[in-house]
Structure 1
Amino acid sequence: MNFAQPQWIAAGLLCCSAIYLLHLHLEKKRNLALQVFAAQTLLAGLTRNVSSNKRKIRLFLLLGTVFFCFMALARPQYGHHWIEVKRKGIDILFAIDTSASMLAEDIRPNRLERSKFAILDFVNRLEGDRVGLMPFAGSAYLMSPLTVDYHAFEQSLQAVDTTLIPDPGTNLAAAITQAESVLRNDANHKLLIIVTDGENLQGDAIAAASTAAERDLTIFTVGVGTPEGELIPLKKGDSPEFVKNDSGQFVVSRLDEQSLRDIAQKTDGLYAPLGNRGQGLQTIYNEKLILIPKEELAEKRHKVPVERFPWFLGIALLLLFVEYLMVSRRIEGLAFQLPRKLRGKTIMMLFLLPAAIFHSPSAIMASPGEQAFQEEDYLAAAEYYDNALADDPDNAALLYNYGTAAYKNNLHDEAITSFNRALQSDDLLLQQKAYYNRGNAQFKKGEESLQADPRKTIGHWQNALASYEASLQLQPDNKEAAANHDFVEKKLEELQQRQQEQNKEEKNQGEKDTDSENGNQNSSEQEPPPEQQDKEGENSGEIAAEPEEQERGGREETTEPEEQEDTEKKSQPESSKDGEKQRQGQEGKMSKEEARQLLEEMKNEDGTLNFIPKTDHKPSNTQGRNW
């Protein structure tokens, strides 16, 4: 026999001692009152029917009742039984470097993009293990909590870029420390996979790895880049720019393999270079994950002590019942007296009392789903409620519990669906809780798309506000719902304000671009090229007479932008040039009707030119031709 919470035994002894001292104090006051009421010689005759021994027995019966109630609270355990425990799987947290050096292009398209591709290939090979995402640079933060929703993980990964974390540098120590708090659970295996080039290390990463090893955290490091290194681009285009140091020299980012290898060895992990096709993560999967013993991933039997608190609770009820029946008067041959009105109920209690004492404790223990949830094994809890819903799909309580477990597993879509179905219940308290938890799930769902699609996030957060408002309508004094509502409302206002500012900037930029194009056109019109000035008197009247032809395909060099000139030059076919030369030889100049007819022949049904110009074709100068 042992007790899971023995502190309650000490509390029971203190409580019984206090009751006994209180009884002595009241007994003393009663005797003093009797002495005032009658003379000492008359007290014996007045109290001859009162049995002091029976009064003491009733007192001890009451004290025994209280003490055995505290014994039941101490959770006495005797014997054990075996239960099947499903695997808890592997928790894998990816820490990906987002510093500026990850833009180096010594592996294509660059270090960061190649790392993202390799992580996606790795996750696609997993089966039921939870994955999380933690970008880091000079600091680290959890972007995607541990989840089995690989689609949500992929969305978060796609949003990772070098502007995500404003703190520059590569602080591996901060990433390891943050990962310890994320992976603080009872999973069979806890893995941290760091994907970085290992340069510009800040903090003591080796000491952080040693601390992680003490907490059963295994670290795998994946080196991105090449030892020879590459320049870090700042801007791409016709005139690319690269990062320079204070002395004006170009900075070359090189892979620091030795540091990454030392970090992995501290936790019995593995270092592997990423390679050009993500071979490093494949090596980790093939040499480590696939070798995890099968029995650790399968169901296993677990010995659980048997709770015996019903025994002590039954004894307490029995003592209380005896104390209630026992009389304090000195009556010959009578120790107990039962009121006539309670005799039928008492007989029923006598039959039910043995059932309360010897009833199987497993029948009154919490369900396996509730136990798993309290032990933070949310995967097992969700599986239990999912199986229960197969037998009773419309049970609102099961739907609510499954939704809560799914929310803890970061399966926010499933949680929202389950809470929606639970709202069909007539239980107002259950509805209030479902609205509240649905609001939490909708907020978390919005956080997943915050980086990739802020507009979608706004929609999810607006739905969350509606859920909190519905919860407050059912329970206006719910402080948690009110606090969450205010928090989400503030976050939503900030996001909407940022979106408005971004849209305003885009609009202003578009107007600037338009003004710039118009300025170029005006300058082109005001200052025609010398060749065109020579021909202006000859062609100006005819062009003004046919503006539509300019829009459909004809051009005049003085009124069209430079980009359109190049397009029209490339679009002139060789066949048209031959015909044109013939006409020039005959007439010296093509007429307007001939030009229009030639253009119509060159167009297909949808109004676009039906030829593909050759890339090496160089059209002759067409200045001075009306069409």
Structure 2
Amino acid sequence: MITDFHFLRPLWLLALLAAPLLVMLIGRRTDVRSQWQNMIAPHLLDHLLIEKGGRRWLQPVHLTAVLIVIAAIAAAGPTWQREKPPFVEDTAPLAIAIDLTETMNATDVSPTRLERAKLKVQDILSLRKGARTALFAYAGTAHMVLPLTDDANLIKTYLAALSPSIMPVTGRDTGRALQVAEDALSSETVPGTILFMTDGVERTAFDAFARYQGRNDLMVLGIGTADGGPVKTADGQFLTDATGARVRAKLDVDALKALQAASKAQVATVTPDDSDVRWIIRRIQSSFAQKTAEGLTRWYDAGWWLTIPIALLAALWFRRGWTVRWAVYLVAVGTVLPGVKAEAADRSFADLWFTPDQQGQRAIDRGDFQGAAGDFQDPAWQGVALFRIGRYQDAIDAFAQGDTAESYYNQGNALMHLDKAEEAIAAYQQALKRRPDWPEARQNLAVAEKRKADNDKQDQDAQQEAAGLDPDQIQFDDKGKKGKEGTVAGAPQTAEMWMRNIQVSPADLLARKFAIEAKDAVP
């Protein structure tokens, strides 16, 4: 927008003063009358001077002044829009929280509310190919099913296993589900969206939504109808009340409207076609674009576009009688280029117009990170290019040439890719020393510390197994029949241990994982 127009390097505009100064100085040097007016009487000077006829209006000095003006504006860096930095993903992360209360098995939406929610999730995955999605389930408790992943098939496998029967606690705690999903997205460098698929939000959760101050967008897709329908049980029967009458679950549309009025959450109800899914996708994209523009983007330097008029005006130097010394250089280069490789020729020609760093930026814009790594002289940008092509150790060496918060932050990111969590922790800590109020660095530090703790735990378990001291294994000392029977205390089982060691169906695995997490959550 025109209101956002400004210059990134405004001090370069001082060079504009050189243009009129140059015209004035050259004009005085070429003005014969001004040179002789102090030596010859004015009434004689008029008769002694012979004015040149047909004097050209456009002189080399005028062209030079125009080029100075354009070059000064280009160097000042005019800008009016933003662009994303190199480490920002192109798509927003999405966390989908699916309600697994018993009423989600109501049949007012065919085949059931829950099955319709699963179909909607599959439609979302189809429209967000390559984007990262996390899956959560909640009822009386809330649990992560899968962390952020771009593997749609893996999500579909665990999505099919979701049912109310795997939840350890009945009821509905939407506020807790919001907190669990928010915690999972807290380490992301870009804002995302938390989508709830539910047939109702309890009034007690309104306050959690109203007080939500996170950067992620909140959306609620209500699944069901106002008329409601009977609720199926796990054995295929219908849920009944104390009198034996069938329970008829209704979608509380008024409550959903009240939730939207009381919070920033966007609320919609399920539709028979895909219009609801497309609404979700549009909302995710627009929210992501808006929030990245607010703080995760940088201003786009449009000054390089002015090299085009500079090149066109510079071509006028070939006019007869004008200075063309710089053109001799071009001719000399042109005689050499045919004898070198085409790639080298292109690079030599590019060297005439762009600095190495500008050539590297152009390579990044084309997606040629391999070429950009060879072009950049700036170590920070060279590190960015090396990072993008997976040369993480080389990227670390490039970033290490700087002593800024950004250089240590980028080193930490590269070290995490090399699974060097301990070194990454040190890098993030150095970044925070130089920029204490950097939320992304603090979030990544927490991720690195967690990974280090997980790695230490795995190493400890591996050492115990190698020593024949597996947890939960009974050991006997039979030497000489004089030893005493004893047991080795088993380490408390965690959800991660279940995920690694239990070979069961996804539904059984999730049920056991959720049960362990629910038990650990009890104070």
TM-score, normalization by structure 2:
0.44
Structure with higher Rg: it is 1
Higher RCO by CA contacts (8 Å cutoff, separation 6 or greater):
2
TM-score, normalization by structure 1:
0.37
